[in-house]
Structure 1
């Protein structure tokens, strides 16, 4: 499965000048919503991701995703794996578990995102699950931005990765883009202005 071609064909592989959730800038952006707006394609991607996890031998009871971007990917993964699905969301900028969702003691979770960049949001969700007595057995995403090391497609982790190195991370492919600090961004120096297309912006 060529995940890069899938993103390109869906118009989800964007080029321009983007402000990322981390505050850094990039010339490229993956807009997963454009991929996931097709339910048939979303199902195929989730089926493949579920198969990768099953082949690894990692067993889990439920899937949890951070809102907003991870919800569709996580729900589809749960459907494909025939597991329960819940999501966390930010309340006054603090990740929280709401809407009557609960976590059982010892319940095993995969935390699923659409895109894993540094893994910050996924880690926030994982901490909530563990505080409530659950066990995070791994992380998953449709695509990995190359900062964290994949279990099924090994790559060297970078210092910016926030995910624990002792937990597996599964994804359908790696995308590695140049990312710049705002005060040293060459795109800014050329006079363009960064836009924020993600779920925390417009």
Structure 2
């Protein structure tokens, strides 16, 4: 039997589980932030995580033709998962704010596509990518991520979906762990009330 990975410890050891006062892409604030790029800068760790995620997906006998990831954050996780599953990899990217498929990538009619992110928060970017795939005739058969922020219901988790979660409930979502951090609207943020400034992870001052 495969030993379960301690995903929280892996993130902490890679300095990828940050604590402080962070501005999220949604505009909300949090005292914790996951920086999967720090985990994935180690090819060995990236392979371990992707292999574990692939093993979970294969347990459910889901047949995948292609992995598709939203750029930029999902590319490394998606590529490694494609390697682990032995399938091809493509990615979507934003052009003038709109998600699109470029660079000569094509999707065949009926092609079975799994949309993979590094982290799924509400699932908005993954859902955008899935709509592009479906508009081209592909079938989105699953979603996956290394980490789930707790808004969407993943396979093998008892945490229910939250109202903010955008992934469709009838399509399975696989992830290695739930990270259920508190998120605050700026006007209700306790760190703001204490006088600290929210920092966008990866920006200057918190590279």
Q: What TM-score, normalized to structure 2?
A: 0.94
How many angstroms apart in 2 are the aligned matches of 1:112 and 1:157?
18
2:23 corresponds to 1:14: no
* 1:20–1:198 CA contact under 8 A, matched in 2: no
Give 2:120's match in structure 1, choosing from 111, 116, 122.
116
* 1:52–1:152 CA contact under 8 A, matched in 2: no
Structure 2 residue ranges without an equivalent (≥5)? none
For 2:197, the equivalent position in structure 1 comes to 193
TM superposition shift of 1:188: 0.8
Number of equivalences? 201
How do residues 161-172 of structure 1 correspond to structure 2 at under 5 angstroms?
161-172=165-176
Give 2:58's match in structure 1, choosing from 54, 61, 65.
54
2:142 corresponds to 1:138: yes
TM superposition shift of 1:153: 2.4
How many angstroms apart in 2 are the aligned matches of 1:155 and 1:110?
22
Q: What TM-score, normalized to structure 1?
A: 0.97
For 2:183, the equivalent position in structure 1 comes to 179
How many angstroms apart in 2 are the aligned matches of 1:93 and 1:8?
33
Give 2:110's match in structure 1, choosing from 106, 112, 119.
106
Runs of 4+ in structure 1 off by over 6 angstroms are none
TM superposition shift of 1:115: 0.3
Q: CA RMSD in A?
A: 1.3
SS in 2 for 1:165: coil
